[in-house]
Amino acid sequence: MDKPVISIRGLRKSYGTVSVLKGIDLEIRKGEVVVIIGPSGSGKSTILRCMNAMEDMTDGDIFYEGQSLREMKKYADLRMHVGMVFQHFNLFPHMTVLENIMYAPVKVRKEPKAEVYERSIQLLRKVGLEEKKDVYPAMLSGGQQQRIAIARALCMKPDVMLFDEPTSALDPEMVGEVLEVMKNLAQSGMTMVIVTHEMRFAAEVADRVIFIDEGVILAEGTPDQILIHPENPRIRTFLKNKL
Amino acid sequence: MSSLIQVLAKYRSLLLNGTEITLIISVITIVFGMIFGSLMALMKMCRIPPLRWFADVYVAFIRGTPVLVQIFLIFYGLPIMGIHIPAIVVGGNDISRIVSGSIALVINSTAYICEIVRAGIQSIDRGQREAAQALGMSDTRVLWAIILPQAMRNIIPALGNEFITVIKTSSQVSVIGIAELMYTANTIRGISFKPIEPLVIVALIYFLITFVVSLILSAVERRMRRSVR
Ligand SMILES: Nc1ncnc2c1ncn2[C@@H]1O[C@H](COP(=O)(O)OP(=O)(O)OP(=O)(O)O)[C@@H](O)[C@H]1O
Ligand SMILES: [Mg+2]
């Protein structure tokens, strides 16, 4: 754990008059796995989406490797360093699995195709879906699609990976296979920010857990402090409802 | 039946010429309608308010007025606005009238194609754009590589309907003296003193054209469905 990759300073976000984030300060250090939990509508997705500039900030700033997001003219570079995995996978249905994975590295970052191919195959092997490389996403189960989506994001060789409820849209029997891939990724030293409702998984992988409610960070600490022996009554109620 | 064949045989070259003009006008309308309709759809969705307003007003106006009125407005309006299309006659056809009629039809179908393209693009899940952006793709690349290929699948059936509508609507330009099929039918009725037969013949020709077009379109649709899931 050393210097911060992402620092969020006084981040506020409003939609019209509705204030969604009310002053968030958060640092993500290299190699750290940070899990964000909180009730529905508390602003978890919004924080993630601000981190790769998918939402603009109302106030405050975010720094990626010390660079202010407000001063960036284009976000393409940032987004190549900060991968994102979505609740609904969002694979491109008109491309095969391999095309989904290879498109951005080859076309956006202009890497040699052969190199990207090698890397894609390795990643597919890592998520256990090498034999699916030539099929279309519609032929895959939700769990398989999400594993491909993770491989797609990883193929950009990101420094940080953001996960927004990656298992929430999955049938229960498929949750495990996706969490397994994420656990391996965490063990390999990837910097990760994960929004999830899987508390057991959170306790297992997190270096730090953030509890957010109504746009503010109510508590942060180790999984033990937040998930296992929480002091804050709001968190206790929240966790009780989860079980 | 025999009188149908008689008329067909006697006025074969008139009918052929009419069919040709109908086809030419329809193709012009479809090609330019697709170009301008797509541009108009992008305008309707763009971030610059005046462009959006223009597209909104344009589409509302064109869809809210009869095509017949639009054809006359262009035919009489262009010269008033100082735009004169030289009256070149090629093989008995007044090119200036064909140009004027085609402009009116393009203006008309642009509005409809705009709506088709816009609906097709907006039917694509927001997550597709987000996933593409999150991979560092530029807005243009997102549109061309991710959104449009998927939108095409939704657009093609509606676009096919529009093609067929255009072919039928082209009969309306007969009112400004373009010798397309409908006009030809009236001409033949006048000179042959047969009121029904020419109409039956052009009806069959229109049907033949639209039928072939719809066959081609459903083949394209089938192919799209196979390659794109
Ligand atoms: N584009 C938008 N326009 C207006 N309000 C929005 C928009 N996006 C999000 N919100 C609101 O912002 C609040 C926070 O949304 P956010 O998606 O960040 O919550 P969340 O913590 O991720 O919730 P969930 O667990 O349901 O995913 C919600 O009340 C939501 O209704
Ligand atoms: Mg959310």
Mean model confidence pLDDT for chain A: 95
Class of residue A8 by CB neighbours under 10 A (exposed 0-12, middle 13-18, buried 19+): buried
User: Quick check: A80 contacting B, CB < 8 Å?
Assistant: yes
How far apart (Å, rounded) are the C-alpha atoms in residues A90 and A178?
A: 15
The mean pLDDT value for A139-156 works out to 97
Ligand 1: centre distance to CA A43 (Å):
6
Look at residue B93 in the predicted model and tell me its pLDDT. 76
Task: List pLDDT tens digits, range A219-242.
Answer: 999 999 999 999 899 999 999 887
Here the tokens at position A62 are 């975010």
> What is B2-228's CATH number?
1.10.3720.10
Give the model's pLDDT for residue A243: 67
What band does A213 get if pLDDT is binned at 50, 70 and 90? very high
- The predicted-structure confidence for A99-119, as pLDDT tens digits, reads as follows 999 999 999 999 999 999 999
Q: Which helix (H) or strand (E) is A50 found in, with range? A: helix A44-51
Q: According to the model, what pLDDT value does residue B91 have?
A: 74
Q: If you measure from the C-alpha of residue A12 to the centroid of ligand 1, how many angstroms do you get, rounded to a whole number?
A: 13
Mean pLDDT of A136-140: 95
Q: What is the Cα–Cα distance from B101 to B105, expressed in whole angstroms?
A: 6
The pLDDT score that the predictor gives to residue A171 is 94
Kindly determine whether residue B134 and residue A80, on different chains, have CB atoms separated by under 8 Å: no
**Cα–chain-centroid distance for residue A102?**
20
Contact indicator for B81, B161 with CB cutoff of 8 Å: no
User: Which chain B residues are Cβ-neighbours of A107 within 8 angstroms?
Assistant: 137, 141, 145
Cβ contacts of B87 within 8 Å, gap of 6 or more: B94, B95, B96
3-state secondary structure (DSSP) of residue A109? coil
Cα of A219 vs its chain's centroid, Å: 20
Asked whether B7 and B188 are in contact (CB, 8 A), the reply is: yes
Q: What's at B20, amino acid-wise?
A: E
Nearest CA to ligand 1 atom 25: A40
- Which residues from B are below 8 Å from A when comparing CB atoms? 125, 127-128, 130-138, 141, 145-146, 149-150, 153, 228-229
Taking the CA of residue A16 as reference, the ligand 1 atom at the shortest distance is 4
Q: Tokens 């816009």 map to which residue?
A: B118
Do A226 and A209 contact (CB within 8 A), yes or no? Answer: yes
CB contact under 8 A, A79 and B145: no
pLDDT of residue A208: 96
Q: Residue B112 has what pLDDT?
A: 97
CB contact under 8 A, B134 and A108: no
* pLDDT attached to residue A2: 65
Say if the Cβ atoms of A94 and B132 lie within 8 Å: no
Q: Which residues contact A11 (CB under 8 A, 6 or more apart)?
A: A21, A23, A24, A25, A26, A47, A50, A57, A59, A60, A61, A62
pLDDT at B152: 87
Chain B residue nearest residue A51, CA to CA:
B134
Q: Is A229 on the interface with B (CB under 8 A)?
A: no
> Three-state secondary structure along chain B?
CHHHHHHHHHCHHHHHHHHHHHHHHHHHHHHHHHHHHHHHHHHHHCCCHHHHHHHHHHHHHHHCCCHHHHHHHHHHHHHHCCCCCCCCEECCEEHHHHHHHHHHHHHHHHHHHHHHHHHHHHCCCHHHHHHHHHCCCCHHHHHHHHHHHHHHHHHHHHHHHHHHHHHHHHHHHHHHCCCCHHHHHHHHHHHHCCCCHHHHHHHHHHHHHHHHHHHHHHHHHHHHHHHCC
Share of chain A above pLDDT 90, in %: 96
What residue ranges line ligand 1, CB within 6 angstroms? A 15, 18, 20, 38, 40-46
Smallest CA–CA separation between A107 and chain B, in Å?
Answer: 9
Considering every ligand atom shown, identify the ligand nearest to the alpha carbon of residue A40 and give its number: 1
pLDDT of A19 > 70? The answer is: yes
Condensed to tens digits (0 to 9), the pLDDT of residues B99-140 reads 999 999 999 999 999 999 999 999 999 999 999 999 999 999
Instruction: Read off the DSSP letter of residue A148.
Output: H
Residue ranges covered by each domain of chain B: 2-228
Which residues, given as ranges, of chain B have pLDDT below 50? none
Please list every residue in chain B whose beta carbon sits closer than 8 Å to the beta carbon of residue A90: 125, 127-128, 130-131
- Could you tell me the pTM of the whole model? 0.85
Q: Is the pLDDT of residue A218 over 60?
A: yes
With CB atoms and an 8 Å threshold, state whether B127 touches A52: no
- Burial (CB count <10 Å: 0-12, 13-18, 19+), residue B25: buried
Across the interface, whether the CB atoms of A93 and B229 are under 8 A apart is answered yes
